[in-house]
Amino acid sequence: MGDGGKKVKNESQNYKSNLKNRCYQFSLKVIALTDNLPNKRSVWIITDQLIRAATSIGANIIEAKASSFRLEFKKFYEISLKSANETKYWLYLLKDAKLISEDKINDLLIELTEISNMLGAAVIKLKNKHF
């Protein structure tokens, strides 16, 4: 196998590291966004849920790393994907309720879509592997 196998392993590690970093940076951006929203009861409730869901994406990827079994690892990635979908819901709700301008949310939605696609690809790959 030589260097070819090593390259695949490094690419896989870079992919995972990049995903973790992107999730972490995404969480920071969501926190910064919510800190600048109006001080209204409806905003408090939505942003509470948004922060919980957004930060859960990366937190579950970290939990997956500590998993003892592949099935458990896959489950944490599935939870991360579900959290990403929930995050999308709360971002759209903020936008459609006109609690924040569309231009402030669009970049987050684009990044979230890319993160979701990465998570979805990982879940599919994990489901196709035999245990």
pLDDT tens, N- to C-terminus, the chain (131 residues): 455 555 545 555 565 569 999 999 999 999 999 999 999 999 999 999 999 999 999 999 999 999 988 889 999 999 999 999 999 999 999 999 999 999 999 999 999 999 999 999 999 998 887 54
**Ordered structural domains, the chain, with CATH:** 3-128 (1.20.1440.60)
**Integer Cα distance of 94 and 9 in angstroms:** 40
Cα(83)–Cα(112) distance, integer angstroms: 11
pTM given for the model: 0.84
Torsion-angle region of 130 (φ positive above 0: left; ψ -120 to 50: alpha; else: beta): beta
Q: If DSSP states are collapsed to H, E and C, what string results for 45-60? A: HHHHHHHHHHHHHHHH
- Mean pLDDT, the chain, as a whole number? 89
